[in-house]
Amino acid sequence: MEATRPVFCTIVPPHVLDRLARSEDPALAGPARRTLEADAAQRTHRRLTTVLGAPPARTAPGAAEGGARRTVFDAGNRRELPGRVVRREGDQPHQDATVNRAHNGLGATFDLLLQVFGRDSVDGNGLPLHATVHFDRDYGNAFWDGEQMVFGDGDGEIFLDFTLPVDVIGHELAHGLTQYTANYTYFGQPGALNESVSDVIGSLVKQYVNDQTAGEADWLIGAGLLAERVTGVALRSMKAPGTAYDDDVLGKDPQPATMDDYVTTGRDNGGVHINSGIPNHAFYLLATALGGRAWERAGQIWYDTLTAGTLTVTPTFADFARATAAAARTRFGEGEELESLLKAWERVGVPAH
């Protein structure tokens, strides 16, 4: 595997913000333009300051030995990162609910990785987990910048506080997991796999927190994030890609569920947030076919694939599918898991043989 290259990854796709920025309503267009501007500035900053190799982890003030080492910062609606420390590991809950949700979401993701997969933080070596809340003013996004997570408060018109859905927190932190393991290039099909892995982990975090089976889960990414005026339920649906929203302002969810509707585009880093619907749907099909708790078998296959080191940083969907089949054979043999996995990939039009 190539040296780790931190990537700037956001939860809200740029095509959604582009559409909002063209709205005739200044209450919608203004925050969207400001968010796009902030994202561009952060993306440029990462390109200019990142060198090959994993970024040095900041020392978490007051971090406890062992277990999660979390620090939450408050940007005070400015863009300077990380901001001032407002909650350290071991501190009592803060009076700010956003701070507490960020803290708890970091902990939930850490617990899933440790308790289910035996991994000590996203790097496997106890990396301190840092999050900044209240980034910028009316900022309509959340992102992983290669070192930490950052959350906006939303504009209140389209997006609410980005710490509200725990799967958004799990999603962004999972970009760190991919960064320290498979390190998929953030463009085209490898980039869509990068995004899909984050959706899978984010969904598993939510299911783990709620102790849900695959059949009980809603398989939505970002449920509770959209404001009341929006006609939609979430940012994405793993169960039914393309159905998460259909709104006069946001447009229609463009995600395909199968390769028949694969989108070829130069936008959004080659459609990383769009075509991720295909591997997302394959995971949903596998998890629900197997039943029970999705992290126990389907999630284990995906985690094994991510950490096996058998793929290059530029895998196609077919490369990844074949690697999941190999992982299923290694862990479970020629049984129900492998049969269900091959059927799932077949249903989305991706060869796994």
Cα separation, 180 vs 178, in Å, equals 5
DSSP string, 247-260: ETTTEE----SSGG
Cα separation, 64 vs 66, in Å, equals 6
Helix (H) or strand (E) run with residue 87 in it: strand 84-88
Under a CB-based contact definition with an 8 Å cutoff, are residues 197 and 305 in contact? no
CA distances from 209 to 109, 118, 202, 203, 305 (A): 9, 17, 11, 10, 23
Q: For residue 26, give every residue at least 6 positions away whose Cβ sits within 8 Å of its Cβ, in sequence order, or none.
A: none
Identify whether 296 is a catalytic site residue. Answer: no
Omega before residue 82 within 30° of 0, cis = yes
Retrieve residue 64's tokens: 């406890």
Helix (H) or strand (E) run with residue 143 in it: strand 142-144
Which residue type, as a one-letter code, is found at position 237?
Answer: S
Identify whether 281 is a catalytic site residue. Answer: no
In 262-335, which ranges are continuous DSSP H helix? 268-271, 277-290, 298-307, 317-332
Q: Which of 172, 175, 195, 281 is catalytic?
A: 172
Q: Which residue shows structure tokens 């080492």?
A: 69
Cα separation, 67 vs 136, in Å, equals 31
Closest CA to 46 of 170, 186, 159, 163: 186
Under a CB-based contact definition with an 8 Å cutoff, are residues 302 and 197 in contact? yes
Torsion of CA 242, 243, 244, 250, to 10 degrees: 70
Q: For the CA atoms of the chain, what is the radius of gyration?
A: 19
Q: Which of 130, 273, 281, 337 is catalytic?
A: 273
Catalytic residues: 172, 273
